[in-house]
Amino acid sequence: MTSQAASRPFMGLKLQPRQGVAAGLVAGAGMLLAWLGAMSLWGPGPRALLTGMGQVLLPTADSASQMVAGAFIHFLLAIGVGVLYAASLDRLNARDTLVVSIFYGFTLWVVSVLILRHWVHLSVLELSRSWWGLLVFLIFGALLGVYANLFGLSAEEES
């Protein structure tokens, strides 16, 4: 990164905040698939994640209801994070967008594991602290970046 690139003025948003809803849904779906796959291979199985998240909303409900509630919470959070991502992403070239997006995923992992740990169910926190939990958050960030590159404005486009 050159000093010229670091000192360039803000060129506008790559995505409009309303596009963050779709970006969050796409990245959230990819993250959920990656997480469930990773849990099948290295973890306790895919039910543990969704039921653990669902226990936040429905602590005394049956497992199926908790899984539905867990998926609802996951996608609600993904949409919120997608909107924040879209509202903060400058117009960058494709490579820089992916780098920033993957770092965004890493930052989300740090925030979720270190800061929000008191607000989530303990089983979800344990799953997030694993190396494959980090990998899944990086995948989430990468998918946000892919979405931004496909549907957002590039650095060269005029407002």
DSSP string, 17-52: TTHHHHHHHHHHHHHHHHHHHHHHHHSS-HHHHHHH
Domain assignment present for 6: no
What is the average pLDDT value for the chain, to the nearest integer? 86
Provide the pLDDT for residue 155: 66
| Helix, strand or coil, per DSSP, at residue 155 | coil
Q: By the 8 A CB rule, do 134 and 42 touch?
A: no
User: Tens of pLDDT along 30-78?
Assistant: 999 998 888 888 877 777 878 888 888 898 899 899 999 989 999 999 9
Q: What is the pLDDT of residue 159?
A: 47
81 assigned to some structural domain: yes
Its domain, for residue 110, covers 16-151
User: Which tens digits make up the pLDDT trace of 105-156?
Assistant: 999 999 888 876 666 666 666 777 788 889 999 999 999 999 999 999 876 6
Is 25 contained in some domain?
yes
Answer whether residue 11 is part of any domain. no
Query: 92 in a domain, yes or no?
Result: yes
Answer yes or no: is 159 within a domain: no
The HSE-up count of residue 115 (CA atoms within 13 Å, CB side) is 6
* Residue 36, domain member (yes or no): yes
Residue 157 belongs to a domain: no
Phi then psi for residue 133, to 5 deg, are: -65, -45
pLDDT the model gives residue 6? 59
Neighbours of 108 (CB within 10 A): 21
pLDDT for the residue 121: 64
pLDDT tens for residues 71-104? 999 999 999 999 999 999 988 899 999 999 999 9
C-alpha 101/C-alpha 116 separation (Å) is: 20
Q: What is the tally of structural domains in the chain?
A: 1
CB-CB contact of 101 with 145 (8 Å): yes
Q: Which percentage of the chain shows pLDDT scores above 90?
A: 50
